[in-house]
Amino acid sequence: MGVGVVNVAFTVIAMWLIDRLGRRSLLFVGFIGTALALGCLAGAVAWDGPGSDYIAIASLLVYIAAFAIGLGPIPHIMMSEVFPLALRGQGMATASVVNWGCNFLVVLMFPIALAATNISVVMGFFGVVCALGLFFSMRFVPETKGLPLEEIERRLEAGNLMRPSS
């Protein structure tokens, strides 16, 4: 029940913050939070010392919060903004299929990876993937906060979508 409460609460917070802080900022918060939470979870499981179970639970809740504030909503919002109007339907459909396909692969591969190694290594690996997602986002994901769709499309066509708006 705690996971659901944290998920809903931080999704509502994300809805409130998205136009205040911007998409990139929340995406960065999501990647940093999930990477750190998964790293702590991996460490707590590997350590298995006094209090490690509480650290693991806290790490899981931080992961859920970070996901709900950034990695859950932001990709869906941004995919509706960055595709040109003429390609928006096909672009969003393709991006959604890729997103859900990757989710499917994670779910499919998790028990296989767990059988091949241990939970600490698997969580550590996913933490590294989140850290790589942060670097990818810093390099390639534009900020679209406050920009009308027409301006985003104009910037995309001009090749300067990454420049911050003034």
Q: What is the pLDDT of residues 71-96, one digit of tens each?
A: 999 999 999 898 888 899 999 999 99
Q: Is residue 165 part of a domain?
A: no
Domain that holds residue 103: 2-158
Please state the pTM of the whole predicted model.
0.90
Q: Is residue 58 part of a domain?
A: yes
Closest CA to 165 of 154, 69, 16: 154
Confidence at residue 166, expressed as pLDDT on a 0 to 100 scale: 47
Provide the 10 A C-beta neighbour count for residue 82.
21
How many structural domains does the chain have? 1
pLDDT > 90: percent of the chain: 78
Here the CATH number for the domain that contains residue 61 is 1.20.1250.20
Q: Is residue 12 part of a domain?
A: yes
